[in-house]
Structure 1
Amino acid sequence: MKVTITKLALAASLALVAASAAAHVTLEQAEAPVGAPYKAVFRVPHGCDQSSTVRLTVRIPEGVIAVKPMVKPGWQIATMRGPYAKTYSFYHGATFSEGVTTVTWSGGNLPDAFYDEFVLSAFIAGDLTPGRMLYFPVVQTCERGEHQWVEVPAADKPDAHLGDPAPGVMLTPKK
């Protein structure tokens, strides 16, 4: 009987950890190759304290270029453009020294009890370093309240627990 209770307690603990991990805005794919196209799918599993999500703003990290957000029925899209820290090469010798730095979906209504995805396509620059995480800070605005999923680990504490982690993707070598 004791073994069964211990197994049940372990299962409940794992379910709680999984539920708390799923409580954040996350990226569908855990990895992305450098020097290749990337489809970023931001998963939004809840609102803010039972309040509907009405805006989602994604900050595009350096090295993610040629960004195009996907149209989402019932939502408007706004992008901010700005200069990159350096010039990046793209397909067929084209170069980019500026581009989309922020994408915002707004005007829709995602009730707290429902889940949805927000999508953009981009290109991961070939001169980014495989083996490191690339973070996309996200601000989720609700009818009442806001979640800022913007925390990233410090260089000296890469395994630190973050309360409001930014969605991240591990960069891999080009396939």
Structure 2
Amino acid sequence: MQRRAPTGGPAIEKYCLCVERVSNRRERDGPKEGALRRSVAPRRRVTLRQQVAFSTDGGPTTVLELSPVEVLEMKRALQSCLIVAGSLLAATAARAHISVSGPAFAGATHEATFGVGHGCDGADTYRVKVQIPAGVTSVRPLDSTFGKAVLEKDTEGNATAVVWTKPVADVLPADTNFYKLTVRFKVPDAPFKTLYFPTIQTCRTADGTETIAEWVDTSGEHGSHDADAGTPAVNPAPSLAVLPPRSPGWNKYTVNEHVHDLSVFKDALIVWAGKAAYSPNPNTQSLIMTEPDTEVLTAIHPGTEIWVKY
């Protein structure tokens, strides 16, 4: 018996997630017997008459023939996506910080762009110092329209920080611009590790007064708030997730780090750890929650063997 869970992502034009019981055989490259197997299968054309027209990313309009039940499920999925997107936008506006592009892949070269979303209390950003975590090598910063980059090293020649400084004459009279600062480096071979880049932001007013914002919290608890003020207690350091190499289909990994933020699997179809499973797709996740003999995967601990399907 198959159950189909409609997806709300761009792949809805051609694919849907299917869920089927595997009871009589073991997949050579998949989870154990009796577990759910998620696979991506072509969407079958249905014979009922209701048509739905839509486009993704401003592209050509696509027309699907769907049953009334499928139309209702699609609407519910889209409504859920809009609610989640609105929550994320609100959270981002409330806790804007210095970001870093990712994820990165273990042992590979990564070009990270740090985004400076705002200045300090209305003052323009004047200098940004990004500390380089241990294990990151072959660091080569790029000059920016913001200002030139200077690479700092310790006595052994290891890169410790990159500093971008804006010419004083270019400092703006107000906090109006978004800045991008880029550095290229080799990622350590440490899958599922989170790299933190503590950052010091210096802002400057028109009269030369400087203020400093320290984005240095590496606890990972970026959602914690001060009970009295209702604002984040500590500014989070930019963080970069390190993922293992992957291939389409099933991938087997042994995790050697604590993984409490499963958003590192945001582009996976499903993740299995023993009898526990997780999917970033809300419809598949709801099926996991109701499937007999299946637990919801909420965290991964060191030494755990997992299967991930991309």
CA RMSD of aligned residues (A): 2.6
Q: Which has the higher contact order (CA 8 A, sep 6+)?
A: 1
Q: What residue identity is the alignment partner of 1:136?
A: F
CA 1:159–1:119 in 2, change beyond 3 Å: closer, same or farther?
closer
1:50-61 map, 5 Å: 50-61=122-133
Letter in 2 for 1:59: Q
Shift of 1:146: 1.2
Are positions 1:39 and 2:102 aligned together?
no
Q: Provide the rounded CA distance (Å) in 1 between the counterparts of 2:242 and 2:118.
A: 27
Tell me the residue number matched to 2:236: 165
Match of 1:105? 164
Q: Secondary structure at the match of 1:153?
A: coil
The equivalent position to 1:17 in structure 2, one of 66, 84, 91, is 91
CA distance in 1, matches of 2:97, 2:179: 12
Q: Write out aligned runs for 1:72-83 (5 A).
A: 72-73=144-145, 75-82=147-154
* Alignment partner of 1:146 is 2:212: yes
- Superposed, 1:102-141 pairs within 5 Å as 102-108=161-167, 109=171, 111-126=174-189, 129-141=190-202
Equivalent pair of 1:153/1:160 in contact (CA under 8 Å): no
Per-residue deviation, residues 52-110 of structure 1 (Å, max 9, x unmatched):
10000000001111101101235132221126xxxxxxxxxxxxx74221100013436
State the partner residue of 1:89: none
Change (3 A) 1:125 1:114: same
Assess, with a 3 A threshold, how the Cα gap between structure 1 residues 13 and 72 changes in structure 2: closer, same or farther: closer
Give the match's secondary structure for 1:145. strand
What's the CA shift for 1:41? 0.4
TM-score, with structure 1 as normaliser: 0.73
User: Kindly tell me: are residues 172 and 115 of structure 1, through their superposed partners in 2, closer, same or farther at Cα, counting changes over 3 Å?
Assistant: same
User: How many residue pairs align between the two structures?
Assistant: 147
Q: Which has the higher strand share?
A: 1
Cα deviation digits, residues 8-56 of structure 1 (max 9, x gap): xx997654312123x1001122x11110001110000110000010000
Distance 2:117 2:223 in 1: 23
Q: Which of 135, 150, 155 matches 1:63? A: 135
- Structure of larger gyration radius: 2
Gaps of 5+ in 2: 1-83, 205-209, 225-231, 247-310
**Matched-pair contact (CA < 8 Å) for 1:45–1:115:** yes
In structure 1, the partner of 2:9 is none
Give the Å deviation of 1:145.
Answer: 1.2
